């Protein structure tokens, strides 16, 4: 995830991502939405990221920036190093720092979560953390309840809990 930040206000004007995975990964991640999956392959607006009226323009500038093969390969290398480190963390004993039962339970839960992510990152569901009246994560500009809420209802939506 890459944030474009205003120099003057220090506010995030856009959040971008670069989809390195195969198209099938994004299709599965989006529960079969092939059209949206195509938008996530390569440079795209981050679905759960902060966006502004400048996001689309800034995305085009980001695309121009990553036309440089060296820069794109550097980003890709960092992506793969991050995934590798997650796998390493999963394999380390995370409970060396504490001996209480509560601490060990906490470490076990964290280890399980990291392990699940590192073993099969293809099963990561989208869980937007937004309320019904927040702007929709798809970037349409509509309220979530008037846009993707009905589509997300059957997907273990955190808003229904």
- Tens-digit pLDDT profile for residues 59-113: 999 888 888 888 888 888 888 888 888 777 766 655 445 555 666 676 677 666 6
The label of the residue with tokens 């995975």 reads 21
Q: Is residue 17 part of a domain?
A: yes
Pair of tokens at residue 2: 């890459």
Q: Is residue 11 part of a domain?
A: yes
- Quick check: helix, strand or coil at residue 11? coil
Q: Is residue 154 part of a domain?
A: no
Asked if residue 95 lies in contact with residue 37, where contact means CB atoms within 8 angstroms, the answer is no
Q: Is residue 74 part of a domain?
A: no
At residue 160's C-alpha, the angle toward residues 159 and 161, to 5°, is 95
Asked if residue 55 lies in contact with residue 80, where contact means CB atoms within 8 angstroms, the answer is no
Full residue range of the structural domain in which residue 31 is found:
1-67
Q: Is residue 12 part of a domain?
A: yes
pTM: 0.45
State how many domains the chain has. 1
């Amino acid at each position: 995830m890459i944030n474009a930040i205003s120099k003057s206000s220090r506010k995030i004007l856009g959040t971008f991502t670069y989809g390195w995975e195969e198209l099938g990964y994004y299709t599965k991640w989006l529960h079969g939405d092939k059209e949206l999956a195509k938008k996530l392959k390569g440079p795209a607006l981050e679905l759960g990221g902060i966006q502004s009226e400048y996001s689309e323009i800034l995305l085009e500038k980001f695309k121009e920036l990553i036309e440089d093969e060296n820069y794109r390969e550097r980003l890709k290398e960092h992506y793969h190093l991050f995934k590798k480190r997650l796998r390493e963390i999963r394999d380390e004993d995370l409970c060396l720092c504490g001996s209480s039962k509560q601490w060990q339970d906490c470490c076990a839960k964290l280890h399980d979560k990291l392990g699940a992510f590192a073993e099969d990152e293809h099963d990561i569901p989208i869980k937007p953390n937004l309320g019904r009246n927040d702007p929709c994560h798809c970037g349409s500009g509509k309220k979530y309840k008037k846009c993707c809420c009905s589509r997300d209802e059957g997907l273990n939506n955190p808003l229904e809990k």
